[in-house]
C-alpha cells in the first residue's frame, strides 16, 4: 500500500498525513455511487473520499467490476468490445460474472474494511446489475436479487448516491477510448431502461438511495454529494484516524 496523495481509483492508495495506529470504532459506513454511464461516478467517489478525509474519516475507495486481482480481470473481459465473430453475451452470463467479481470484492476488500471501522466508497454495486442486466437486458429481477444475495451475503449499502442524468448527455461525455461494450453495443432504448431502472430502485428505497442531478458541474455535484452524505450518515461516520486508500 503506497502512501501519499493520489486521486485515482486505479491504484492501492493511502492518503495519510500522519500514519497512526487504527483505533477502530466499530463498523464503517458503506457508501455506493451508482447510475447510468457518464454520470461521473469515479470523480465523485474521489471527491467524496476527500471530503470525508478532511473530516477525519478513514476511507477506502474501490469500484465494480474490479477492486481485486480477479475483479479487474473480469472487468477486462466484461467490458471488452465483442469480436465480430462472437455471439452476443447472454445477459444472465453477464449477471453471473458481475456477481462473481462482487463476491470477491465483498469478501476480500469491503467486509474486512468495514469490520476495521473504515468507511468504504464503492463506484457501482448490486444496483448496477438490477439496472443493466435486469431493467435494461430483461433478466427477471427476482433472479438478480437472489444472485446478489448469494454474492454479498446480504450486505447492503448504508447510503447509495444515484448520479442521474439523461442518457444522451451521459453517453456524449465518454471519451472515445473509454467506451465499453455496454456503451458501444447496446442501443439508446437499453440505456433509457437502465436509467429508468435506477430511478425505480431509488423510488422503492428512499431511505437508502439519494438521487442527485449529475448534469451540473463537477464542483456543484460534489457539494450535493457531500451534503447528502453528511445529512444521512452523521453521526454514523466516526471521524478518527484519517486515511483514504483506494484499491483495484
Ligand atoms: P464503469 O465502471 O462505470 O465504466 P467506466 O468507468 O469506463 O465508465 O462501468 C462499466 C460498465 O459495466 C458500465 O457500462 C455498466 C456495466 N455494468 C453492468 O452492466 N452491470 C454491473 O453489475 C456493473 C457493476 C456494471
Q: What local confidence, expressed as pLDDT, does residue 129 receive?
A: 98
Q: Look up the CATH number of the domain holding residue 118.
A: 3.40.50.300
pTM comes to: 0.89
What does the pLDDT average to over 78-105?
A: 93
Q: Which residue range forms the structural domain that includes residue 195?
A: 2-246
Q: Is the pLDDT of residue 19 over 90?
A: no
- 66 vs 5 pLDDT, higher one: 66
Q: Give 10's pLDDT tier (boundaries 50, 70, 90).
A: very low
What does the pLDDT average to over 18-26?
A: 38
Give the span between the Cα atoms of 230 and 25, in whole angstroms. 18
State the distance from the centre of ligand 1 to the C-alpha of 245, rounded, in angstroms.
21
Residues having CB within 6 Å of any atom of ligand 1: 37, 41-42, 63-65, 79, 98, 124, 128-129, 132-133, 178, 180, 182-183
- E strands along 64-144, which residues? 119-123
Averaged confidence pLDDT in the chain: 88
Q: What local confidence, expressed as pLDDT, does residue 245 receive?
A: 78
The enclosing H or E element of 210 equals strand 209-213
Q: How many CB atoms lie within 10 A of CB 78?
A: 20
Candidate from 9, 65, 99 with most ligand 1 atoms within 8 A of CB, to mutate: 65
The torsion angles phi and psi of 159, rounded to 5 degrees, stand at -150, 135
pLDDT in tens, 168-207: 999 999 888 888 999 989 999 999 999 999 999 999 999 9
State the distance from the centre of ligand 1 to the C-alpha of 26, rounded, in angstroms.
31
State the distance from the centre of ligand 1 to the C-alpha of 158, rounded, in angstroms.
21
What does the pLDDT average to over 16-34?
A: 61
The total domain count for the chain is 1
The enclosing H or E element of 219 equals helix 218-233
Burial 102-133 (b: 16+ CB within 10 A, else e): bbbbbebbbbebbeebbbbbbbbbbbbbbbbb
Amino acid at each position: 500500500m503506497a502512501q501519499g496523495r493520489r486521486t485515482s481509483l486505479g491504484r492501492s492508495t493511502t492518503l495519510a498525513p500522519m500514519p497512526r495506529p487504527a483505533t477502530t470504532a466499530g463498523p464503517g459506513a458503506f457508501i455506493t455511487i451508482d447510475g447510468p454511464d457518464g454520470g461521473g461516478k469515479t470523480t465523485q467517489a474521489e471527491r467524496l473520499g476527500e471530503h470525508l478525509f478532511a473530516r477525519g474519516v478513514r476511507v477506502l475507495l474501490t469500484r465494480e467490476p474490479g477492486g481485486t486481482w480477479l475483479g479487474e480481470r473480469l472487468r477486462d473481459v466484461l467490458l471488452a468490445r465483442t469480436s465480430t465473430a462472437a455471439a452476443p453475451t447472454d445477459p444472465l452470463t453477464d449477471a453471473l460474472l458481475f456477481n462473481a467479481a462482487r463476491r470477491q470484492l465483498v469478501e476480500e476488500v469491503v467486509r474486512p474494511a468495514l469490520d476495521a471501522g473504515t468507511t468504504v466508497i464503492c463506484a457501482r454495486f448490486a444496483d448496477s446489475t438490477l439496472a443493466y442486466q435486469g431493467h435494461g437486458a430483461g433478466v427477471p429481477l427476482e433472479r438478480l436479487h437472489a444472485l446478489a444475495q448469494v454474492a454479498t451475503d446480504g450486505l447492503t449499502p448504508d447510503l447509495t448516491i444515484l448520479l442521474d442524468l439523461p442518457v444522451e448527455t451521459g453517453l456524449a461525455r465518454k471519451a472515445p477510448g473509454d467506451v465499453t461494450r455496454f456503451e458501444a453495443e447496446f442501443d439508446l432504448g437499453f440505456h433509457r431502461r437502465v436509467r429508468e431502472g435506477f430511478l425505480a430502485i431509488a423510488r422503492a428505497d428512499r431511505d437508502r438511495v439519494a438521487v442527485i442531478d449529475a448534469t451540473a458541474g463537477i464542483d456543484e455535484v460534489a457539494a450535493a454529494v457531500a451534503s447528502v452524505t453528511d445529512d444521512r450518515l452523521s453521526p454514523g461516520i466516526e471521524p478518527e484516524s484519517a486515511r483514504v486508500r483506494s484499491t483495484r
